[in-house]
Structure 1
């Protein structure tokens, strides 16, 4: 019991100390990890001086005793502290940007680890004469990078986002390769059995793939659980903490796959799906919780590892200086080899966007080592199955190497970034920054004038403030010193990002369902990626994707037409209705945003060009909605009504919040109102069933040939016709086939492929009649240009109709004669 108490006391005081170091690090512009290393070594040295007779020192002695208890099992460091570090990194990274750089990240995270192990092993073996497998073990220990210090510096000086993504992505996965190799080499040294050359690689691939599968499965299970917690934030945090530790321990100890990869993939899966599964306030609270856990874990593991490492350094000899110099040169030389030798190969074959040489230099020099390296070194040091000289060699050199990177590389990162100019904005960002400043100053000047009236000050007070006067004078007359094509590209990216946020905003205010939000956000992410890589051309591609149905839709339509399975197609049609309606609503908001904010920032010419793109996209969505509403008009009206009801409920909820904030109602009244509102919201979120029974009457009335029929005649003709939906690009009739039906276009456009060129047939037109009249094969292909709703009249019904309706026969024959001519 006493050991537990003093251990808790030591951890509590350690948390206070690491927090006190934060303002010190900020004041002297020193990486926090450097101060943690200094503090840890100081505490370790003091603990060694105190020795085992801690009772005579009272409380300080108990603290040192507690530190010794916590650090007595270095192997526990990985199980206690590593899962929070990995999960937070995966949860907070920009997943889309990570996948954009996935090839470069895997090169740095996996290939670079193995290159480092091999180069360090060979160089240190030559320099010291120590057994090659011991040197390879040392290489595995020092191959993991610690991004905490370098990423903190990158953010502080405003480094490009890509540089941070590469550093963060590398740190996500390199622990897996290092720990797997570490375990293999420990077994080699303990059992003196060298594995088959291919066995380690196959084992690593099995562990990596198994970790990926385990992480995905556990993340989905965790999401299934949290979705049924009723919005509990404490429950959400508890489930994710359990997920991180279960993934690591289950993978590492029970399934013998990579626990590191399992945790990282679980976090990435959660980060991908979480924003559309959880309410925005839940997601923010979860990220805040994990940032706190990550700070505790990273600080404590570094501090406690440094405390234990201080004792390890008691065995230091001067010959270790030469060995650590060889280690330093080898480790950073291997890193340079990967970045300057292997990465250009990926760039050459198009797998990686070219990386600036300045970025490469920063990534080489920023390969700091930290907590995980110290923890692995101490795990090796505490493994009594290894000879004592091996344990000392690995632990001392790894500790010295960590200290070298912290005291040499870390302090010089900031000056190096300034030397390369990576802390400065590029020309585009500079121009836009200046423009935002001017616009902001003009806005503030107006508000200051209004405030002056309230305070009884002079109305021209704003003009006496130099920068506000400058802003007022410059916004109307200054040109934006940036080519228009760059401004258009920037404006597109702004609109795409805004579109994504508007979808999430609607989800957060419960105006759309979680399912629809997931689909729309995924679509927006694809749009952002296309615009990022292809600019305006990428956005034009999105115009077509909005109205082109996907493979899943085609499959459900085939199932319905072939087997009569209604439910899959009904669900897909309902999804399409809702997504198109929400997209249309968001695009109208984007048009207003473009006319105001974008026009002010980038100029009227850019806003006009962007407005054309938005109008074109909106036109396509309107056309797709029109086609669907024609066939399922009642359902479309119901969905529109539901959306309006959700909007009304959101506004009502905002009004209740306002009344509560103004103390006009009590908490009891507020809860009663919210309860009633929640019941109405649940009803509004309940999707009505979509009946696939076709509205033939409405479709027949769209065809001019049938315009003169009364209600009874329409019903009679309807018995002869069959409705059919065809998808964009789908061939309706094929040249040379036997004609068995003619078709009327109720909605959409079809293309007739003729030798002299394509002919488009629109709403109300018909085709296929010539083959039926002349009993000849089809003379042309007819392909749907978009989603088409057709009325199919088969050959037998065709003859019956012409017999019963001579006037229709005459009109059809007239059109057929014109086409033959």
Structure 2
């Protein structure tokens, strides 16, 4: 047999073994990597024994010979295995949720890595006496975390999703930071072998090293983002070919890693991570849902193969040297464990509360913090770095062996100690026990299920004229079956039942968004934003109940940072595009929210009432109703300002629904054999053309072209075109936010305002006046130079025209007819205000 045949048999055997371990891991509730490590060491011991004994086992023996021959050089580990591991981790993360928790993620990913490196280096140096730089290198190798086990625990106990985001984001970003630190320290160690002492000083200079680190890190970010954006342009033009899409992303991964590292001399690891995050952010909005799901499945398969091969090969290597381990490595591994978990506890229990105190991070339960500490397992990335260090011939052999063996043994320590005891820790913390609330819900669901089953049986028996003795329940109860009341010891107060209902409704809300996306009613960009909002709502309701729900509704109703930035750019520089996009987003979000809230109201009546009681259903209906009123009011305000755009968006939504119904009808006709495949394909192509025609949102005209707006203001309605143009040169456009105070009592009289769209309320000491489109205010201050005597507050989004004092004086000097008109209107308003004041007194 040739070496190729031996290698093929070896790979086939490994893939078979690691696949069989998957159901075993689920059965014993252990991370798959624990069984991979056991299998790898078992294969290592068994293979050494079979080869040494020269036992003839046919193909099985040849497979073990192939394993012995299958020696992947350590210089291949990094470029071959690391990119798919990093890219898959970045591809599967929810980027929008990651940005919500970015402060905590950066703390865990950057600060925690640095603290871990320092703690591990200090403890190992104290315990073994090894060179401090060597200890720092070991700290960098072991500072990466594998979140798989702890995320599984969070999922099992129903922990808030943001905790999974914390674990995933930490693992992804700390890989990049740790690998960059790894390159820094290994470069310092390698520089010690050069002959020129000046070169050693230059390489070891901390300032120079920090500069190189920052250059490589920032350069990797920029290059990875640019490559991913270019790839997204290609992906959107590949049609229906899932294979081609997957191939482009594989190419992107290795191009980012190799080109960045070898040609641009920036961090290839950071480049891959940034590329993955960019694809994760833009992929769902550029690819069909089926294509996106297929792409993620391909990368999950690649990650599975890479992870399995790394663990098996590394564990086989560890098995071959386990008998040669000295007390040095025992002390080193214990020191690494003490340093790593001490550092993690310092960050989670010491630094994370600081972010909670300043409200940069939502509070994390102490039990979950304990799981975050104990669940800081090490995985494939640590092994890859250990193998790279072991194969770096620039380092002395004793240092290579020390780094590689200590790191691999620490990985095995976390797998066999931490991973296997996570369940016990969860039990001790009480996370595996049903709460009083969950027990009550379980019993309530069981009671309802029995009632529904009995009702269905009665219906079936009546339909088939079956004998009454076949009825499971009491024959006397053949009519209506009443639901048993909750036991007194498990009866829940109203606020707890309402909280359960809100969590249920919030979860169903997210499902409705995803359903509309699958039906192609909702755009990909919108579903990403709304689904992320729904996740935040679920977490908030779990923490604070009704109060949290209302706080969330208030928060999402306020302009976010992006909108405020767009508004500032428009006010400062007259840039309209970003503000237009934000207002268009608001239109679509309000319309979708309105339809989803209607479905939630029906769901509350049909599904929540029996489960939680009529009083809880009524309380939930009130919460939903208040939110519906807010959404309807905001949508009505926008539709009044932009009726044309509102009609265009509504027509677009209806057209999407029509296309969805037609598509389902064509598919049904095809299944029934009424139309042929050729006719079906032609009909689908026509639908695709219609879908493409409405894929872009209709343009939203802010109505900020000054000449057109001036013509709608009653004050200037009688002016000729030349006068309007002259006025337009003096006016400046302004968009006011809902409840924004445009003028305050006692403020300087530096401008007058014209309402082009929307409405404002003027509050004086005696009267309150509402001004709408075509009205104006603030003119008395300009004419009399007296401080403001009223507050003017925007009711919703208002588009205003502003005439500042300097421009006003120039306008009146050049256009006397404008002065006459303004003074006449001001006199009439002054008289009306005086009459209203006398009547009130």
- Deviation of residue 792 (structure 1)? 11
C-alpha distance in structure 1 between counterparts of 2:474 and 2:410, whole Å: 54
Distance 1:237 1:139, change over 3 A: same
- Deviation of residue 535 (structure 1)? 0.7
1:380 match: 389
Asked if 2 retains the 8 angstrom alpha-carbon contact of 1:159 and 1:423, the reply is no
Asked if 1 retains the 8 angstrom alpha-carbon contact of 2:742 and 2:792, the reply is yes
The alignment yields a C-alpha RMSD, in angstroms, of 4.8
- Deviation of residue 79 (structure 1)? 2.1
1:586 match: 596
C-alpha distance in structure 2 between counterparts of 1:739 and 1:199, whole Å: 54
Map 1:311-322 to 2 at 5 A: 311-313=320-322, 315-317=324-326, 320-322=329-331
2:663 match: 653
Is 1:535 matched with 2:513? Answer: no
The CA deviation string for residues 622-642 of structure 1, in whole angstroms up to 9 with x for no partner, is 444444444544443344333
2:691 match: 681
Distance 1:784 1:114, change over 3 A: closer
Distance 1:619 1:33, change over 3 A: closer
2:177 match: 177
- Deviation of residue 50 (structure 1)? 5.6
Match of 2:403 among 379, 394, 410: 394
Secondary structure of the equivalent of 2:433?
Answer: coil
Asked if 2 retains the 8 angstrom alpha-carbon contact of 1:660 and 1:666, the reply is yes
Match of 1:309 among 308, 318, 322: 318
1:290 match: 299
Count of residue correspondences: 801
1:267 match: 276
Secondary structure of the equivalent of 2:558?
Answer: helix
1:668 match: 678
Map 1:383-462 to 2 at 5 A: 383-452=392-461, 457-458=466-467
Distance 1:390 1:346, change over 3 A: same
Is 1:121 matched with 2:125? Answer: no
Map 1:17-56 to 2 at 5 A: 17-49=17-49
Segment of structure 1 superposing worse, 216-225 or 146-155? 146-155
- Deviation of residue 352 (structure 1)? 4.5
C-alpha distance in structure 1 between counterparts of 2:87 and 2:263, whole Å: 20
C-alpha distance in structure 1 between counterparts of 2:509 and 2:772, whole Å: 32
- Deviation of residue 523 (structure 1)? 6.0
The CA deviation string for residues 361-386 of structure 1, in whole angstroms up to 9 with x for no partner, is 43443333333333333323223333
2:187 match: 187
C-alpha distance in structure 1 between counterparts of 2:314 and 2:52, whole Å: 19
C-alpha distance in structure 2 between counterparts of 1:682 and 1:125, whole Å: 64
Asked if 2 retains the 8 angstrom alpha-carbon contact of 1:279 and 1:508, the reply is no
C-alpha distance in structure 1 between counterparts of 2:659 and 2:735, whole Å: 38
Distance 1:647 1:24, change over 3 A: closer
Secondary structure of the equivalent of 1:236?
Answer: helix
- Deviation of residue 61 (structure 1)? 5.3
**TM-score of the superposed pair, with normalisation by structure 2:** 0.80
Is 1:138 matched with 2:138? Answer: yes
2:742 match: 731
2:243 match: 234
C-alpha distance in structure 2 between counterparts of 1:812 and 1:328, whole Å: 79
1:11 match: 11
- Deviation of residue 179 (structure 1)? 2.6
Distance 1:620 1:280, change over 3 A: same
Distance 1:167 1:424, change over 3 A: farther
- Deviation of residue 596 (structure 1)? 2.9
C-alpha distance in structure 2 between counterparts of 1:239 and 1:812, whole Å: 68
Distance 1:403 1:130, change over 3 A: same
2:90 match: 90
The CA deviation string for residues 532-565 of structure 1, in whole angstroms up to 9 with x for no partner, is 6761442341474389993366468658xx97x8
Map 1:568-583 to 2 at 5 A: 575-583=585-593
Segment of structure 1 superposing worse, 671-680 or 491-500? 491-500
Secondary structure of the equivalent of 1:672?
Answer: helix
- Deviation of residue 734 (structure 1)? 8.8
Asked if 2 retains the 8 angstrom alpha-carbon contact of 1:151 and 1:164, the reply is yes
Asked if 1 retains the 8 angstrom alpha-carbon contact of 2:225 and 2:274, the reply is yes
Mind listing any 5+ residue stretches in structure 1 that lack a counterpart?
A: 707-713
The CA deviation string for residues 696-731 of structure 1, in whole angstroms up to 9 with x for no partner, is 9x999x99x99xxxxxxx997999999988533263
The CA deviation string for residues 353-404 of structure 1, in whole angstroms up to 9 with x for no partner, is 4444443443443333333333333323223333333333333333333333
Match of 1:222 among 205, 218, 231: 231
Asked if 2 retains the 8 angstrom alpha-carbon contact of 1:732 and 1:784, the reply is no
- Deviation of residue 302 (structure 1)? 0.5
C-alpha distance in structure 1 between counterparts of 2:52 and 2:703, whole Å: 85
- Deviation of residue 19 (structure 1)? 0.7
1:362 match: 371
Distance 1:380 1:458, change over 3 A: farther
Map 1:712-791 to 2 at 5 A: 727-728=736-737, 729=740, 731=742, 748-754=758-764, 756=765, 759-761=768-770, 768=777, 771=780, 780-788=790-798
